[in-house]
Structure 1
């Protein structure tokens, strides 16, 4: 355990341990002195004291965006933080291809898309398309991985049917739209549909990702893995190979 996780810490702003934080939010009020006062009041109620409105900008006629800077008295105990640690090795594309070829003796099949009304394909394309993300090539670049990218607004029945038709080893779903917890509801619907349609030992790996997912929610959502913001194609490819070769060996 590192030194950081062995001690109680405070936020850092101007000097070490001063407890200063910066917070941004929007209020449904036209920009005015009253709106700025309301923003400071909200920050006070959230535990910032003093709270200074350092930025206010009208967002159309009826909303105002604020940035508030102030001190909080809360302490942070890193030893109590729960995270999902990577429990598999990161492989190069060459290593991924070699492992798949040796273990499966066929191409690993991945079906992906955005389900429900989600039309934002940036996330799924970053992982699947050959152009990739963060300097890494997407899964289409891997010789031993067959990628079927269904794109946006894919219904859950269509996803299940295509996964069956392709004999998919893994299903990747990206969810960017999060209003009214749509990403949570869509994922639960998807995982339930796959569990109803497949025997437990034949179901493809279910992997979801998006900027508003919590990586600790995999069990709650009924999926095998949740990837949060910043995930690279190499991490996904390495995870898929790790889990599928584990299945093959068991």
Structure 2
């Protein structure tokens, strides 16, 4: 259900409520694991937790043991919370999406050399699916990766690269941009690794010679660029074309406009 309300300033606000079986019923479904063996008491604990989350009434629709002393639950129920859509804050794309041909043309005409990109998974992260999807020529979902762009020089360091190794590779390859993928997020490892990386680059290179620092992964908050010390964060669903277009925007178009 959605509704329009008028604020004190006269502006209209769009208010929405979750939808489940019927319009505006507020029904939601959540899943979680509790460190208890599966029995009636465990299901009662799941309902109690759901109630404390604001789901009332709550019903356990699925419960399955997950090894010794753990149970996975799916709970269905009603919430009374409303959402003001206009109050939602997101990072909007502030650059034009370019085709591979357009990216190559801009780089060749304005940069007049190949744009150097170094990518890696840092720390103990061994999941290269994300970085490979962006860098490898095969790309993802039918869209070719940055290796396909003839005016981009791509160096893919792979997985479990240490921060010092990444900094050295960026120096050797004279990187214009460094792309880091982080999939492992236990204990906020992706945040710790990103802060370590950005600090290392600030220490190793002066501001004018530091490459563009870009990180991506499914659990990043795209609004945390300043907090993490990077230039751009890409979340889940990012395509190679978006990254290539951003590189052109940040390294060529925007710099020329600021010159």
TM-score (norm 1): 0.96
Check if 1:238 corresponds to 2:237.
no
1:141 to 138, 148, 155: 148
What residue ranges of structure 2 are gaps of 5+ in the alignment? Answer: 5-11
Q: Residue 125 of structure 1 corresponds to which residue in structure 2?
A: 132
Aligned length: 248
Task: Please state how far the C-alpha of 1:36 moved relative to its aligned partner.
Answer: 1.1
RMSD, aligned CA: 1.3
| 3-state SS, counterpart of residue 101 of structure 1 | helix
Q: Distance in 1 between matches of 2:39 and 2:140?
A: 42
Q: Residue 225 of structure 2 corresponds to which residue in structure 1?
A: 218
Residues 103, 248 of structure 1: 8 Å contact kept:
no
Task: Please state how far the C-alpha of 1:248 moved relative to its aligned partner.
Answer: 4.6
Q: Distance in 1 between matches of 2:139 and 2:63?
A: 37
Task: Please state how far the C-alpha of 1:51 moved relative to its aligned partner.
Answer: 0.4
What residue ranges of structure 1 are gaps of 5+ in the alignment? Answer: none
5 Å-filtered alignment, 1:189-208, equals 189-208=196-215
Q: Residue 66 of structure 2 corresponds to which residue in structure 1?
A: 59
Check if 1:247 corresponds to 2:250.
no
Q: Which has the higher strand share?
A: 2
Q: Distance in 2 between matches of 1:214 and 1:135?
A: 26
Q: Distance in 2 between matches of 1:248 and 1:188?
A: 29
Deviation per CA, 1:26-53, whole angstroms, max 9, x where unpaired? Answer: 1111221111111111001100000011
Deviation per CA, 1:204-228, whole angstroms, max 9, x where unpaired? Answer: 1000000100101111100000000
Check if 1:157 corresponds to 2:164.
yes
Q: Given the superposition, is the C-alpha separation of residues 6 and 134 from structure 1 closer, same or farther in structure 2, using an over 3 Å criterion?
A: farther
| 3-state SS, counterpart of residue 67 of structure 1 | strand
Task: Please state how far the C-alpha of 1:6 moved relative to its aligned partner.
Answer: 3.1
1:96 to 103, 109, 119: 103
Range 57-66 or range 41-50, more displaced? 57-66
Range 96-105 or range 54-63, more displaced? 54-63
Q: Distance in 2 between matches of 1:31 and 1:180?
A: 26
